[in-house]
Structure 1
């Protein structure tokens, strides 16, 4: 337990920051799930869902919620899956 006023303050800040980051991470995971499921279901809706998810990933990386490289990797995978789905939709 914190014994100094500064340590108590840091603890309060940690609790606030953790709650904020947890909420943002949860929103990010939801956006990713929506994007992935829309790519599987309908290509028309998938484009906007993927753009939204990529924007959320950029925002999370900028705030330090997730590492920048992970955001980049997830964005690339989303784009690749969207491209593959749109290619198969037009071909077949």
Structure 2
């Protein structure tokens, strides 16, 4: 997830193609919860759910590529979260065998 200080409207309107560096986004008030290479290109993604607080994320190349298959940011986020869950289970199994 990302935290946004200020109005993110212009960054959201710029679209989901990662064209700004993380460093540029930080200078505009966007802060990722996880460390990232400041030179890596990213886009600010908003995930709006009715009745919920809007979630903001940094989207990188892989996120953008997934949206070429299905244009929904929610679909791309689901793919990302599924991949993270699979990675966690795999890492836990590897750790248990050591």
Place the TM-score, normalised by the shorter chain, in its bin. 0.3 to 0.5
Greater gyration radius: 1
Q: TM-score scaled by structure 1?
A: 0.38
Q: Tell me the TM-score normalized by structure 2.
A: 0.36
Q: Which has the higher strand share?
A: 2
- Larger % of helix: which? 1
